[in-house]
Amino acid sequence: MDNFTYYSPTKVLFGKGGEANVGEVIKGYGFRKVLLHYGGGSIKRSGLYGVIMKSLSDAGIAFVELGGVEPNPKLPLVREGIALCKAENVELILAVGGGSVIDSSKAMGMGLMLDGDVWDIYRGLVVPAKTVPVGVVLTISAAGSELSNSSVITNPDGGFKRGHNNDVCRPLFAILNPALTFTVDKFQTACGIVDILMHTIERFFGTPAQTMLSDSFAEGLMRTVIDAGKRVMANPEDYDARGELMWASSLSHNGITGNGRTGDWASHQMEHEISGLFDRVAHGAGLSVVFPAWAKYVCHVDYARFAQFAVNVWGITPGNSDEETAYAGIDAAKAFFKSLGMPTSLTDLEIGADSIKPMAEKAYAWRETMGFFKPLRKPDVVEIYKLAL
Amino acid sequence: MDNFTYYSPTKVLFGKGGEANVGEVIKGYGFRKVLLHYGGGSIKRSGLYGVIMKSLSDAGIAFVELGGVEPNPKLPLVREGIALCKAENVELILAVGGGSVIDSSKAMGMGLMLDGDVWDIYRGLVVPAKTVPVGVVLTISAAGSELSNSSVITNPDGGFKRGHNNDVCRPLFAILNPALTFTVDKFQTACGIVDILMHTIERFFGTPAQTMLSDSFAEGLMRTVIDAGKRVMANPEDYDARGELMWASSLSHNGITGNGRTGDWASHQMEHEISGLFDRVAHGAGLSVVFPAWAKYVCHVDYARFAQFAVNVWGITPGNSDEETAYAGIDAAKAFFKSLGMPTSLTDLEIGADSIKPMAEKAYAWRETMGFFKPLRKPDVVEIYKLAL
């Protein structure tokens, strides 16, 4: 086991109807004014917006609001939110939505503590030591941002998609009601399933430390997501299955599945170049394309680890060699992604070979290697993108 | 899945040599004066006391100290500590030890916030809303108090052992260095293994909610403890195995293995009557006696759940019926406890049939039922103690 720090202070309020209590929760912390931050308006169509407005009013919480967060949340809206929060003396940012809304809220919360520009955080020039707190009402099971220390923001000026990891941005509380995800469509649900799996897969691979407890959590979470994922795709209103996915989304990215080892994260980094350049590509869809190619390119480094993944996660019967079992596991993952209706090639995403060089160039503009399972240099990444064609 | 709240804010600092950094950790939080609280002096013999003294001094942290915590920590020392902390304006209580020291520290921290007597908390008369924070340097893997919301104190005046659960008493930080447990003897190590398993077993049983993710965590944790437990008994200086046990001890009692269901806890409650009356009985040893008897008495309520326990935790091949598989799992658990050198009957503990009535009387002095898997009334508990003879 490697040394590690584990810190997941977010208070989770899980269950039916929790969103109607958000005002009382906020009041309990002593906050009096919040920014209500959300996306494209689906919370108005679903009625959630009204429930939250009423809960805030009933609890005597004043608020201003800022909607319009897009997938791959954008820097200009973050800057707009920071200005608004400053002008209105906002004490807490209430993110009502999924990963994009939460990441945008985290960026604002941290940015509010700076004298300089918020993008400096994502450029690695400054590490905020505190934040205006973020609370969450989650509406989609996917990114895990509700418990994570991570925020990813896209700067449209150049198409840069960059992440910042910092314990200060872990949300103060997260209200998780699986019923709020009944209306998430099949494609977004499937993207979420891939995203949840990938957060744990990235942690499962990486450096070769012995981590039996973390492995058992990782494997159990992935088996749960595969099982619940199938049930949710068949019946979008299966509360228990939606619940397993929602809780798995949070635990797949708070650190619990990878303590004691360093995760890999190369698949995420390669995906960031895809959706950074092609804004139409959903994060989960990009991951679904990258992972099988990455796995085939790197598995020779440790077939036994990939065989463990195949047997304990995908239920593969061990073959004649770890190599054979390893490939069977990768094929099973790819087949599962396909069964969800996910793309599994760049071609499926309508991205051609001509985009590979620009993506690889951008990825290596500021780093030497990517990943830990097999540290990848630029030519490796080019090969992986080619495998993904 | 039942509704749940999950809150585990303790910052975990896991790895080699962490104790030498405790002064800097405390300084980072801004505290200037601490109470160093510990047990019977083993930390002086091992040299840990000196390491911590030096770390506090180097960081400029002032401290007073109070040793002498006994197993089944006692109320008079808690009262003494509260008086000392008040007189010395202590800002943080640093627990250096295991569950007893941590529970004693939590009692002091909460008691310091009351006008009245600290025992009122454990009598259920008052619920503290805040605490003087507790930090931990853990020296034994067992109770899980380093992340839990629980504190158990014994009042020698009457032999009452009572617990209080309250999120405010979750420690601020926990320094976990598996190497500090190399010198824990075989009996105490075995007691810890049973205690860790039981914290998860209690959560695994209880109400019948569907909780696939929590189950997979619970089962994975138990498999890990069984495996690492065997390795540690064979080689007490196996760092990775000690590490698995230490991390499992923390996660077995912070809530993560039982979210979405209500745990049972009757075995714990019956054990509290044993070690409350017989101070010489270690908590783990009492649990090792109670659980197999409890399981045999209640398993008819849901053989399928016990069969799942048998197959997924103990690796039992399913028999001709869930009933058969269920009993095989209980036998496997009892055999494992025996293999660790643990007692598995009241006779092993030198407790006779004449003690059953007083223990049952005391248990029901202030409650009607015990447990949820099968709510137990006084005659049930008498029968279970008889089965344990």
Q: pLDDT tens, A234-269?
A: 999 999 999 999 999 999 999 999 999 999 999 999
**CA closest to A175 among chain B residues:** B5
CB contact under 8 A, B244 and A219: no
Quote the pLDDT of residue B162: 87
Domain termination site, one of A180, A213, A231: A180
In this complex, the residue of B12, B213, B248 whose CB is nearest that of residue A244 is: B213
Q: Please report which confidence band the pLDDT of residue A160 belongs to, taking 50, 70 and 90 as the band edges.
A: confident
Quote the pLDDT of residue B275: 87
Q: A260 at the B interface (CB within 8 A)? A: yes
CA–CA gap between residue B335 and residue A5 (Å, rounded): 36
Instruction: Find residues 321-360 of chain B whose CB sits inside 8 Å of chain A.
Output: none
Q: pLDDT tens, A65-110?
A: 999 999 889 999 999 999 999 999 999 999 999 999 999 999 999 9
Q: B226 at the A interface (CB within 8 A)? A: no
Whether the CB-CB separation of A194 and A286 falls below 8 Å is answered with: no
Residue A62 corresponds to which tokens in the numbers above? 């004043």
Q: Do B48 and B195 lie in a common domain?
A: no
pLDDT for A159 beyond 80: no
Specify the amino acid at residue B153: I
Quote the pLDDT of residue B41: 83
Q: A108 at the B interface (CB within 8 A)? A: no
Quote the pLDDT of residue A366: 81
CB contact under 8 A, B11 and A11: no
Quote the pLDDT of residue B159: 75
pLDDT for A142 beyond 80: yes
Q: A157 at the B interface (CB within 8 A)? A: no
CA–CA gap between residue B88 and residue B132 (Å, rounded): 13
Output DSSP code: residue A376: B
Q: Which of A248, A194, A189, A190 is nearest to A219 (CA)?
A: A248
Q: What is the separation of C-alpha B90 from the centre of its chain, rounded to a whole number of angstroms?
A: 26
In this complex, the residue of A12, A212, A227 whose CB is nearest that of residue B224 is: A212
Q: Do B234 and B350 lie in a common domain?
A: yes
- Which of B175, B197, B211, B212 is the best substitution to test chain A (most A C-beta atoms within 10 A)? B212
Q: Do B206 and B330 lie in a common domain?
A: yes
Q: Which of A56, A53, A119, A114 is nearest to A85 (CA)?
A: A114
Q: Do A94 and A125 lie in a common domain?
A: yes
Q: pLDDT tens, B118-155?
A: 999 999 999 999 999 999 999 999 999 999 999 999 99
Length of chain A: 389
Domain count, chain B: 2
Q: Do B162 and B257 lie in a common domain?
A: no
Q: Is residue B4 part of a domain?
A: no
Average pLDDT value for chain A: 96
CB contact under 8 A, A15 and B6: no
Quote the pLDDT of residue B40: 87
In chain B, what residues touch A13 (CB-CB under 8 Å)? 5
CB contact under 8 A, A5 and B11: yes
Q: Is residue A1 part of a domain?
A: no
A261-to-A5, A206, A377, B14, B282 alpha-carbon distances in Å: 11, 7, 22, 12, 34
**DSSP H/E element including A336:** helix A322-339
Average pLDDT over residues A120-127: 96
Domain termination site, one of A180, A203, A233: A180
User: Phi first, then psi: what are they for A296, rounded to 5°?
Assistant: -65, -35
B303-314 and B212-234 helices, crossing angle to 10°: 50
Q: Do B176 and B205 lie in a common domain?
A: no
* Angstroms from A240 CA to nearest CA on chain B: 6
In this complex, the residue of A6, A9, A244 whose CB is nearest that of residue B14 is: A6
Q: A146 at the B interface (CB within 8 A)? A: no
CB contact under 8 A, A248 and B213: yes
* Angstroms from B171 CA to nearest CA on chain A: 12
Domain termination site, one of B126, B150, B180: B180
Q: pLDDT tens, A365-380?
A: 889 999 999 999 999 9
- CATH number of the domain that A367 lies in? 1.20.1090.10
Where chain B has pLDDT below 50, the residues are none
Pairing mode of beta strands B173-176, B134-138 = parallel
CA–CA gap between residue B63 and residue B296 (Å, rounded): 50
% of residues, chain B, pLDDT over 70: 100
Q: Do A75 and A155 lie in a common domain?
A: yes
Specify the amino acid at residue A116: G
Quote the pLDDT of residue A272: 87
Q: B315 at the A interface (CB within 8 A)? A: no
- Cβ pairs A/B, distance under 8 A: 116
pLDDT for A350 beyond 90: yes
Phi-psi region of A76 (alpha: psi -120 to 50; beta: other; left: phi over 0): alpha
CB contact under 8 A, A240 and B12: no
Q: Is residue B366 part of a domain?
A: yes
Quote the pLDDT of residue B332: 98
Q: Do B77 and B224 lie in a common domain?
A: no
Quote the pLDDT of residue B366: 81
**Burial class for B368, CB neighbours closer than 10 Å (0-12, 13-18, 19+):** exposed
- Domain of residue A376 covers 186-387
Q: Is residue A6 part of a domain?
A: no
Q: Do B289 and B152 lie in a common domain?
A: no
Q: pLDDT tens, B5-14?
A: 999 999 999 9
Q: Is residue B144 part of a domain?
A: yes
Average pLDDT over residues A147-160: 91
CB contact under 8 A, B15 and A8: no
Radius of gyration of chain A (CA): 20
Q: Do B98 and B195 lie in a common domain?
A: no
Q: A4 at the B interface (CB within 8 A)? A: yes
Q: B16 at the A interface (CB within 8 A)? A: yes
Q: Is residue B3 part of a domain?
A: no
Average pLDDT over residues A147-151: 97
Q: Do A335 and A237 lie in a common domain?
A: yes
Output DSSP code: residue A142: S
Q: Is residue A366 part of a domain?
A: yes
B109-to-B31, B147, B152 alpha-carbon distances in Å: 15, 15, 13
Q: A123 at the B interface (CB within 8 A)? A: no
pTM of the model: 0.96
Whether the CB-CB separation of A170 and A8 falls below 8 Å is answered with: yes
Q: Do A197 and A345 lie in a common domain?
A: yes
Q: Is residue B86 part of a domain?
A: yes
CB contact under 8 A, B228 and A239: no
- CATH number of the domain that A61 lies in? 3.40.50.1970
